[in-house]
Chain A
Amino acid sequence: MALIIDWLVQGFQMLLVLALCPLLIGFVRKVKARLLRRRGASVLQPYRDLRRLLLKEVVLAESASWLFRVVPYLVFSAVWVAAALVPTFASGLAFNWTADLIAIVALLGSARFFLALAGLDVGASFGGIGSSREMMIASLAEPAMLMMVFTLSLLAGTTQLSSVAQYLLTDGVGLRVSLLLAMLALFIVAIAENGRIPVDNPATHLELTMVHEAMVLEYSGRHLALIELAAALKLTLYLSLLACVFTPWGMAEAQAGWSAYLLGLLAYLAKLAVGGFLLAVFETGIAKMRVFRVDEFLGAALMLGLLGILLLFVSRSL
């Protein structure tokens, strides 16, 4: 029975992140629009966009290879698997032992690797510019993310995300300098990896802001829908990760019972809403930076992460 419940929770979690992620995007867009004193589209607009894209035919460039057609599915499933392994409303997921935090980071890396390859596949200049910049950003963001992972696992004694969440939830960790540094690092990485302002602008197709949008410029129809969905999943994943690690309150423990699960779900929705709201406020309040300033921004994240680990190597109580 316990096993069945665990599997059910895991399955529900997989569907939950998939179902929620367009809503999160719509919510962030709505808040941004309201902050700019526009009315904005409905929060359900991303769902309509996805449906429209899914029903359209795909137009492939003549120089596109089989890789171009496979990559959307690969990227989507890698990100989905990664998102399914981040605890949202309940810790102790049934398959949490399959991949730990390092593996989740690397799964996102796989998705990025193949998307960057797809950007080069057609042989148009915009795809290349996007791939090249995406890999530049990743070359600093991924180590910074790993530094954050190290900080957490040095504190909790494990790299298993569910165990980390359990530890932070129950053991009264309190305020730690290293955790604060790790949170800042993760926040910066989340901004960069999801292509938000100030690193990239998800709302424009202007050449100078083009990273993610340029990379996927040649995609259309269902392929584009999958890639947009994967991007939304990735944003949800990062917000869930921030919520699960730094604000674990309300999350249900393993086999806690239905009421705890419901409470956890409500808490998770509230955390996502707050996270999305803060993201929109941050994005509205800051200007896009030049591409070659991004390395300083991300270098700061790397250094903060490294500092966090150094503190933990020196003393376990910092």
Chain B
Amino acid sequence: MPLYWFLGPLAGLLGVGCYALVGSRRPRSDAIVYGISFLCSVLALGASLTHLLTAPAASTLTLPLGLPWSGVHLRVDALSAFFLVIVNLGGAVTSWYGLGHGRHEQAPERVLPFFPAFLAAMNLVLLADDAFTFLLTWEFMSLMSWALVMAHHRQAGNAHAGYVYLLMAGMGTMALLLAFGVLAGADGGYHFADMRAGLLSQQAAALVLVLTLVGAGSKAGLFPLHVWLPLAHPAAPSHVSALMSGVMTKVAVYGFMRIVFDLLGEPAWWWGAVVLALGAVTAVLGVLYALMQHDLKRLLAYHTVENIGIIFIGLGLALAFQANYLNDGAALALSAALFHVFNHSLFKSLLFLGSGSVLSATGERDMERLGGLIHRMPWTALAFLIGSAAISALPPLNGFVSEWLTFQAILISPELPQWLLKFLVPAVGAALALSAALAGACFVKAFGITFLGRPRTPAAAQAEETDTRSLTALFVLAALCVLAGILPGLVIDALAPVVASLNGAVRLAAQASQPWLTLVPLAEAKNSYNGMLVLLFIVFSGFLSALLIHRLASRDARRGSAWDCGFPDDNPAGQYTAGSFAQPIRRMFGSVVFQARERVDMPAPGDLRPARMTVSLRDPAWDYGYLPLIQVVNTVAGRLNHLQFLTVRRYLTLVFSALILLLLGLAIWR
């Protein structure tokens, strides 16, 4: 598929963004903006899917824009085509959702211009083929998403979220800028082809790895660079949260893969160890953070951190395998990571859109004030349930397949010769298993407290089902979750060109030819999984038992009040809440990780005030990372403050001595 097929949709997105700058106050402008965004995303989705499935040679294009001596280089190859599919699928679904959901927007002029521009920016990052274009579009993407985060800037906390996001994004871009600088070397070849051809010393390559981990990792949400993510993602309007969490983090993963797997050349084994360790810590801490949240959207945002950890575990394994020339293992690990990228973009978008429907129906994000929504919003509840089951890695849905593949990759890793890896990989496997189990608990809580039980507030009791357009978007994503779960072989075959392009032409065996479309990643181990049959068996035995019982035994049902051991409580406040659901896990893990402390304030006998329990949690990333850093910066700034109040004489002396020092340095260095 030639590249200019993408230029039309991109021009459309940018154009409708410009229109919205002037026309967003007009009636029906939201329909125009989201409609055109939807059309453009579908066109770009078609183009990228065609490119991915037919796997032609990379197509390039140079536009006479940008820097006069280089121009803007664009290129689409298998890797960018795969991520283009994810971006445009997410873009199409969220635009469609926006067609229904956009009516609820209070300040459309703060959302409509930036939404299509954000989509275009993400597309452009994936198409960029030189460092200048990449950084420019990356920063454009950050700024557009920042503008969307600030859309509701008067709500408490959103301004702070935007500020933290802007700082972290700026730091990340700086790290990427330095990484590209090291990659380009002294000759300054900023075209990606030059970087691919260039040879780096080991130290320089290690420096690039670290800078990329900071730059792309902060955008993706690697611990401890994740701190902006749970603040900023929930602050944006819900369909934008879905894009930021489900899609933009994947663009960051793309940045990491493009630099480390494509441009940087052959990896050293310890790169794998570093990425694996980071991924494992991120996965476990991400889900623990998520379990402690009561805000539905913030819980989802923290859960993104966990999934990014799982993706980076797959990438780290791939690096370790590649460094030891075990390309079959690397193909498996890469497929697992890419499959999880795809899955996460599906179910996280689904869950954020679902939480958006809940938010617009009730005006509440706090789970402690929801409940019982399954009665009032049955379809939203069903879609959210499918998303929750998929993200908790339950068979036969798609989340399980990518975790299964990651486990399979871990199981062949005793072949790795390095001792550190031999100790690290089993621990990473345990961490992955732990995070999968905790994710189940997390989503029992998220779905159970929000949708089940009895309504805890009048707002929840009077919620109305969301509109049909939003529901269509939810069910498209839910259907894709089921399909990717029962036909994983097709997804893996579609991923194979991407894997081959990053892995010295080694890929997994074609899966579509397996009998019954069974998934058999490595032929010699004969490990197989067939989601379709598992689903069929469950449906069959479920229906069979239901039929038999209804025919032969009883089918009577009567409604009565709840049993509750004989003392049913009419007050819905007596139900289990999000806080009480997470209390056992908070005691088990939180007392160590978050220094969780419970303080009970019990009034004396005869005193009529209510007893109170307060829970305090501390965030290790802020406590040990950012707050000391902020303190150091403040101290240094305070010390340097008096430099602002010197006389002209002193300033001249300073300038002169700085010049001499620099010249001296130059003389010594030469």
Contacts and interface: CB of A to CB of B under 8 A. Distances in A.
B670 to A, nearest CB: 52
Contacts of B588: 136, 139-140, 292, 295
A240 interface: no
A86 interface: no
Contact of B526 (A58, A80, A158): A158
B510 interface: no
Interface stretch (A105-113, A242-250, A254-262, A277-285): A105-113
B395 A128 contact: no
Nearest to B572: A123
A200 interface: no
B563 A61 contact: yes
A305 B258 CA distance: 37
Interface stretch (B3-11, B151-159, B302-310, B573-581): B573-581
B394 A110 contact: yes
A63 B375 CA distance: 9
Contact of A132 (B385, B392, B580): B580
A97 B584 contact: no
Contacts of A81: 534, 537-538, 541
A313 B437 contact: no
A48 interface: no
Interface stretch (A22-30, A216-224, A266-274): A216-224
B82 interface: no
Contact of A123 (B393, B454, B587): B454
Contacts of B540: 77
B518 interface: yes
A14 to B, nearest CB: 8
B449 A120 contact: yes
A89 interface: no
Nearest to A78: B538
Contacts of A159: 407-408, 411, 525, 527
B434 interface: yes
B374 interface: yes
A85 B541 CA distance: 14
A77 B440 contact: no
Given A124-B562, A132-B576, A218-B563, A98 B534 contact: yes
Nearest to A110: B394
A99 B529 contact: yes
A158 B449 CA distance: 39
Contact of A65 (B374, B393, B558): B374
Interface stretch (B207-215, B326-334, B497-505, B548-556): B548-556
B444 interface: yes
Contact of B429 (A97, A109, A150): A150
Contact of A95 (B425, B533, B549): B533
Given A120-B448, A146-B433, A63 B441 contact: no
Interface string B519-541: 00000011111100110011111
A107 B429 contact: no
Interface string A49-79: 0000011111111110111010001101110
Majority secondary structure of chain A interface residues (helix, strand, loop or mixed): helix
A135 B411 contact: no
B68 interface: no
Contact of A103 (B404, B430, B445): B404
A11 to B, nearest CB: 12
Contacts of A158: 525-527
B458 interface: no
A310 interface: yes
Contacts of B533: 95, 98
B225 to A, nearest CB: 26
Nearest to A81: B537
Q: Chain B CB within 10 Å — which of A80, A119, A135, A312 has the most? A: A135
A202 interface: no
A288 interface: no
A55 B553 CA distance: 5
Interface in A92-132: 95, 97-100, 102-103, 106-107, 109-110, 112-113, 116-117, 119-129, 131-132
Contact of A60 (B518, B560, B565, B576): B560
Contact of B414 (A95, A226, A312): A312
Given A159-B527, A160-B526, A310-B426, A217 B563 contact: yes
A43 B438 CA distance: 38
Interface string A220-239: 11100010000000000000
Given A117-B452, A123-B453, A142-B433, A103 B529 contact: yes
Given A63-B453, A76-B541, A217-B564, 11 more contacts: A59-B559, A61-B560, A66-B378, A80-B541, A121-B374, A121-B452, A141-B437, A146-B433, A150-B411, A221-B556, A292-B588
Q: Can you list the 10 inter-chain pairs with the closest CB atoms, starting with the nearest?
A: A128-B576, A123-B453, A120-B448, A57-B556, A143-B433, A136-B584, A123-B454, A135-B441, A61-B562, A54-B553
27 contacts: A57-B557, A61-B560, A62-B561, A97-B528, A107-B395, A110-B395, A113-B443, A117-B444, A117-B447, A120-B453, A122-B564, A123-B454, A132-B580, A132-B583, A136-B585, A138-B441, A142-B436, A146-B433, A150-B410, A159-B407, A159-B411, A160-B527, A160-B528, A292-B587, A302-B434, A305-B430, A310-B426
